[in-house]
Structure 1
Amino acid sequence: MSTERVETIVIGGGQAGLAMSYHLGRLGGEHLVLERGQLAERWRGERWDSLHFQSPNWNMNLPGWSRMTADPRADPDAFSPLHEVTDYIERYAATIRAPVRTHCAALSVTREPGSRALQVQTDGTLYVAHNIVVATGPYQVPRATPSSLGGGVFELHSTQYRNPMQLPAGAVLVVGAGNSGVQIAEELCRAGRRVFLSVSSHERIRRRYRGKDCIWWLIATGSADSTLRDWKGARLSRLMTGVNGGHDIDLRRLAAEGVVLIGRVKAAEDGKLAIADDLASSIAHGDESLKAFDRRCDDTVRAQQLDLPAAGPSEDPLPDPAELQAPIRVLDLARAGIRSVIWANGAHADFSWIDLPVFGQSAEPKRAPVHERGVTAEAGLYFLGLPWLHKWKSAFLFGADEDAAHLAQHIVPRRR
């Protein structure tokens, strides 16, 4: 086992880690980026084939080299398919000359015995560093699922789903109506599958309003720059998609196309699922959030005196699906012909490999580090790319720049 000393180790070669590399390099900070697989590994290995980036090309920005700089011929209002996202990230790393070591997984982070230095253990090398930035992202471990679905049911998490051909014949249950769940359900339905979609509380948003994309509005209204202290609403997924040029996600439309909506899955026993009586309330919350989005946009137009087209006439809402009036309370998988279940119920961080006292008390230990804008009380240890690290945008590609710049200003002066 060899030992290598480096001023700063950045763990993770995705958008956050590369943004960190850019700012450290700009300030002359010696560093290495360790990536467990290829660059943008999670984009490559944990996304489905038809996924498109959910922000327009004009908003695919990493510090110093945006998507539109990389390809000026690209349509700024289009949504990049998955392979263009990974290509941009790979070219970005080359452009900024990020010192990345791929296929180099961090197995543990500890304090060097008898020293103030930190150390990262990998398969072949022990790295000793003055600083460590953990930029592995927030979603490593799929959330727990019921264990009594019965034999003969093909199960996989949304991070393992690739396309409809992957699934056996028969109906499909998609559990979770966040962005992943609704997009997978839509794809399966349009591929001719009978689909059941388990819906939980969510927020709706218009893909475009008054001539501008919803991401433009999130920035213009200040929502993207909201801190957790400022945030007034629930921290729920906003439903959006970039597929087929980007369009609104409306669960009533999915129901009209054949998707069967059910409430939240509470439990499972012998292939029968107990379903919560919350479908109507979840749909109603989504409807109210859409109205609130329109109001915020209109208020911003007035306050900033923006020269934008007037809002078009409101479309008549689609009729409520039958399941709202007669909700399904028990779903028998065999009787419904369901042969596959896709768990789109999210994932959480796994920091169990970090053996330092920076984690708060919680039912799931070592999931949530205690920090202030990524700076922990443990000298030299930082986190980047987590949801609400500082602002709503912190976990998104276009939010990495600001947070990485802030941490670089902490890290580089420490060597002096």
Structure 2
Amino acid sequence: MADVVTEVLVVGAGQAGVAASEHLGVRGIDHLVLERDRIAESWRTRRWDSLVANGPAWHDRFPGLEFDGVAPDGFASKDQVADYFSAYAEKIDAPVRCGVEVLGVHRHEGRPGFRVETSAGTVDAQRVVAATGPFQTPVVPSVVPDDAGVTQIHSSDYRRPGQLPDGGVLVVGAGSSGVQIADELRRSGRAVHLSVGPHERPPRRYRGQDFCWWLGVLDKWDAAAPPQGAAHVTIAVSGARGGHTVDFRELAATGVTLVGMTRSFADGRLRFAPDLADTVAAGDAHYLAMLDEADAYVVRNGLDLPEEPAARVLGPAPDCVTDPVTELDLARAGITSIVWATGYSSDYGWLPSGALDDDGRPRHSRGISTEPGIYFLGLPWQSRRGSSFIWGVWHDAAHVADHIAIQRGYLAHLPEPTVTTSGAPR
């Protein structure tokens, strides 16, 4: 790629980058999208084989295109999601260049814009949109040393049960990824322990409607800020096998042994926090509270939705909750692998330091950086609860594109530079 000049450079061609391209294009703003791999590469190669979207196809999409070959209430596979974004980029004629990695963004001296160093040359851009999303660097807590005698992988490297050595598996993390991986491993015949931390546990469907619908009509998707302390609480929900409510009692009934949060390791033994019963109870309370809000909404609006009293029947707590394991000898328990479903951190070290706080996190308001000319897309809680979801990032991209359009409108009112008789501006 020869040196390029563009008004806006979008970095990343996942859901955030494609959304940014659509809104910039509609506004007639010249832009270029750079992607170091392929469009939606994370969906293709950084997820396990059986992964499906956690939201139904009618909801987890952009407004301008439906999923091909997926029923509205169905859950698209990871490859179908990747193909969807490729098709969307083609539909809007997004100016995407793949196989180009952005290495650094540097502000020009004495004039607007940035010099962007890439693996294929230099880009001169007036503005830069960081659309790489929040899932960049896998986080593996430094709890179990590498020489502990067990295979350790992050959920981003997990593909299928046969990938792991024979023996039992400990899955650490009980968000959507952790519970789905633990369930798949147990169904393959493995002995599985699941380390459970704080989580929200919504119903997959209630009174005939998906939880995505309930979050919408109850105005929970549009919550502008997380409840105190809940910014990083995971949501335990699954689209696997047609979609189902995650119930830790049912997981335990299938043979998964639940344990508390993983705390420490010494002498071949893992130690867990004695918080499992309280954690499960808090998840149940969230679940029941959502049913209460849904029922109140039905009454308030006079809706004819079928009652579902069985949804409130939780059943007794399993033995592993009432008498929890707080210490586990990995060898004696036959555990040969640990899958860390412990999330990701972001890496924005390629951006100007003014765009980041002291911990390297984006400094922004609804995606508009404190560093003029820099923007972010795809961040959790960027403007609302739904920001890091497919439909949410599309709406955030509209706000970012609007801000860019407004700023360029102001700059259009600058006086033209005066030219001397020698032809040089002054």
Return the TM-score normalized by structure 2.
0.92
Could you tell me which runs of 5 or more consecutive residues in structure 1 were left unpaired when the two chains were aligned: none
Q: Is this contact kept in 2: 1:273–1:331, CA < 8 A?
A: yes
CA drift of 1:75 comes to: 1.5
Q: Which residue of 2 aligns with 1:373?
A: 366
Q: Distance in 2 between matches of 1:139 and 1:276?
A: 27
| Aligned pair partner of 1:225 in 205, 222, 226 | 222
Query: Is 1:305 paired with 2:298?
Result: no
Q: Distance in 2 between matches of 1:35 and 1:95?
A: 18
| Aligned pair partner of 1:158 in 142, 155, 160 | 155
Q: Distance in 2 between matches of 1:59 and 1:43?
A: 18
Query: Is 1:357 paired with 2:350?
Result: no
CA drift of 1:238 comes to: 1.9
Query: Is 1:320 paired with 2:304?
Result: no
List, as ranges, runs of 4+ consecutive aligned residues in structure 1 with deviation greater than 4 Å: none
Q: Is this contact kept in 2: 1:149–1:272, CA < 8 A?
A: no
Q: Which residue of 1 aligns with 2:262?
A: 265
* Range moving further from structure 2, 327-336 or 18-27: 327-336
| Structure 2 counterparts to residues 130-209 of structure 1, below 5 A | 130-145=126-141, 146-148=143-145, 150-209=147-206
User: Which is greater in Rg?
Assistant: 2
CA drift of 1:80 comes to: 1.2
Q: Is this contact kept in 2: 1:149–1:269, CA < 8 A?
A: no
User: What amino acid sits opposite 1:382 in the alignment?
Assistant: Y
Query: Is 1:393 paired with 2:386?
Result: yes
* Range moving further from structure 2, 102-111 or 189-198: 102-111
Q: Which residue of 2 aligns with 1:43?
A: 43
Q: Distance in 1 between matches of 2:251 and 2:322?
A: 17
Query: Is 1:336 paired with 2:333?
Result: yes
Q: Is this contact kept in 2: 1:150–1:271, CA < 8 A?
A: no
* Range moving further from structure 2, 314-323 or 334-343: 314-323
User: What amino acid sits opposite 1:40 in the alignment?
Assistant: A
Q: Which residue of 2 aligns with 1:384?
A: 377
| Aligned pair partner of 1:120 in 108, 116, 119 | 116
> Structure 1 residues 413 and 263, CA, compared in 2 at 3 Å: closer, same or farther?
same
Could you tell me which runs of 5 or more consecutive residues in structure 2 were left unpaired when the two chains were aligned: 413-426
SS in 2 for 1:285: helix
Q: Is this contact kept in 2: 1:110–1:354, CA < 8 A?
A: yes
Q: Distance in 2 between matches of 1:125 and 1:113?
A: 20
CA drift of 1:321 comes to: 1.9
CA drift of 1:2 comes to: 4.5
Q: Is this contact kept in 1: 2:52–2:76, CA < 8 A?
A: yes
Q: Is this contact kept in 1: 2:70–2:76, CA < 8 A?
A: no
Q: Is this contact kept in 2: 1:62–1:400, CA < 8 A?
A: no
> Equivalent pairs: percent with the same residue?
44
SS in 2 for 1:225: coil
Q: Distance in 1 between matches of 2:350 and 2:383?
A: 24
Q: Is this contact kept in 1: 2:175–2:234, CA < 8 A?
A: yes
Q: Distance in 1 between matches of 2:118 and 2:340?
A: 31
**1:8-29 CA distances to partner (integer Å, 9 max, x unpaired)?**
0000101111011001001100
CA drift of 1:63 comes to: 4.2
SS in 2 for 1:107: strand
CA RMSD of aligned residues (A): 1.7
CA drift of 1:233 comes to: 7.6
CA drift of 1:142 comes to: 1.7
> Structure 1 residues 153 and 353, CA, compared in 2 at 3 Å: closer, same or farther?
same
SS in 1 for 2:156: coil
SS in 2 for 1:61: coil
> Structure 1 residues 314 and 62, CA, compared in 2 at 3 Å: closer, same or farther?
closer
Kindly tell me the number of residue pairs found equivalent between the two proteins: 407
Q: Is this contact kept in 1: 2:288–2:312, CA < 8 A?
A: no
**1:115-135 CA distances to partner (integer Å, 9 max, x unpaired)?**
321122111211110010001
Return the TM-score normalized by structure 1.
0.94
* Range moving further from structure 2, 14-23 or 370-379: 370-379
Q: Distance in 1 between matches of 2:101 and 2:347?
A: 14
CA drift of 1:232 comes to: 6.3
CA drift of 1:184 comes to: 0.1
Q: Is this contact kept in 2: 1:149–1:270, CA < 8 A?
A: no
Q: Distance in 2 between matches of 1:35 and 1:354?
A: 16
